[in-house]
Amino acid sequence: MTIRYDGRVAIVTGAGGGLGREYALELARRGAKVVVNDLGGARDGSGHSDAAAAVVAEIAAMGGEAIANSGSVTDPPAMEAMVAEARDRFGGVHILINNAGVLRDKSFAKMSHEDFAFVVQVHLIGSAICTKAVWDLMRDQQYGRILMTASSTGLFGNFGQANYGAAKLGLAGLTKTLYLEGAKYNVRVNTLAPTAGTRMTEDIFPAEAFAAFSPDKVVPAALFLVSEDAPTNMIVGAGAGVFQASYITLTPGVRLQGEALSPEGIAANWSAIIDRTGEIVPQSGNEQAQAIFRKLG
């Protein structure tokens, strides 16, 4: 069955180029009305351009409906105004893809406080601001699909990207609470960790890899994760047509008592503590506490 978005309204941030542009175009091809948000800045967040308007023109040329928005995801009133415009123009907002981002890569030793804070502000705080702007509307509609954009850097680390990694793992954590709070309102929240050849990665990937990891090969995962039958609380990796699921797991652990309840006891039992036999994938933080209680019985 073909996945369509007729009657749905989608906001895609950072949609003036790269992955965001591809998401916006494909959503429009499949029937969605799209708000194309992009500040139009450089990779480090500086400057402005009319990138969003150009994507809107592409959508209009294919017979779709879209509006451009150049507000910053770090500006709550601007994002609230964007959502209000989408609601007034199209009747609601059903899909939000938090894609906007910047890079200011340096080793942690050389990274300024400003560069750390700015990257976290755009990726993590910006995504929270955009999500907050649509949250009540989606709850009232009893329908919402929200996608956070994480990264392998956030999940597994990458040299020179402490600011980016901290923000990206934070987004996975944000997903894990919002999926719980949105469940009874049919608001599903997922995390995508894409690997793609875009303006953000053009000086990182070799030429062949840059072509193999074209943004269009990530699009299927993003669109599935904001579809009507999407799962919720998933972390999905995507790149070059390969799709993966990533999980945060918990080992059964070991209960220590008496003299063993000490740093020395931890050292002596370390291999058992990290033994992954029987590990679980908790669906809420409470499940960790429950696992501890079971050890006390």
Name the phi and psi angles at 82, rounded to 5: -60, -45
The C-alpha atoms of residue 238 and residue 222 are separated, in whole angstroms, by: 9
The C-alpha atoms of residue 32 and residue 124 are separated, in whole angstroms, by: 26
Does the annotation count 185 as an active-site position?
no
Helices vs strands, H then E, count in the chain: 12, 8
* Cβ atoms of residues 108 and 162 within 8 Å: yes
Report helix angle 76-90 to 126-141, nearest 10.
Answer: 30
The C-alpha atoms of residue 87 and residue 92 are separated, in whole angstroms, by: 4
| H or E element at residue 264 | helix 263-268
The C-alpha atoms of residue 288 and residue 253 are separated, in whole angstroms, by: 10
SS3 category, 98? strand
Cα–Cα nearest to 230, from 146, 127, 135: 146
Buried b / exposed e along 132-161 (16+ C-beta atoms within 10 A): ebbbebbbebebbbbbbbbbbbbbeebebb
Cα–Cα nearest to 56, from 20, 100, 84, 85: 20
Instruction: Tally the residues of the chain.
Output: 297
* Cβ atoms of residues 147 and 192 within 8 Å: yes
* Residue of 164, 179, 185, 247 with catalytic role: 164
Active-site residue list: 164
